[in-house]
Structure 1
Amino acid sequence: MHKLCTRIKYFLLFDGKCLEPKEREAEIISEILLKAASEPEFRNSLIRDPAAVLEMYNVSPQAKMVIKRTIIDLTQ
């Protein structure tokens, strides 16, 4: 049975454990980059207009910058 997080606003339940926002952002960054690697249409959208694609995700501006820089590095 999962333990409830008392501060849902600041913690997320993920795979049976409570993660702090920075840990959850790392998970989301990883998910986005894996999706970009495996789905050409998503990758092309991310390359063309990263701001529009990343608006769908609830991550900090710093996390969005990491994703943008990673995509730029991979396409050069």
Structure 2
Amino acid sequence: MTEGAQAPTIIQPAPTRFLRPREIAFIEDALRQVGAFGEVHLIVERGRLRFVRTLKSEAIDAAKDKPG
């Protein structure tokens, strides 16, 4: 390492208390699917993640709807 250079900082994720790795992967996938305009709803029952609901929205270009 050259003088004055610092080693990169590695941040270890904190252990999760409520989510399992499979559930985290499922949420990540849902976030990728909804894209820039969407919602991901986490449904929790009795302290456990039971469902992941997604709502995908798409922008409508107003210029295309104008006549002429």
TM-score, length of structure 2 as denominator length: 0.29
Greater per-residue strand proportion: 2
Which has the bigger relative contact order, CA under 8 A and spacing at least 6? 2
Give the structure with higher Rg (CA).
2
TM-score, length of structure 1 as denominator length: 0.26
Greater per-residue helix proportion: 1
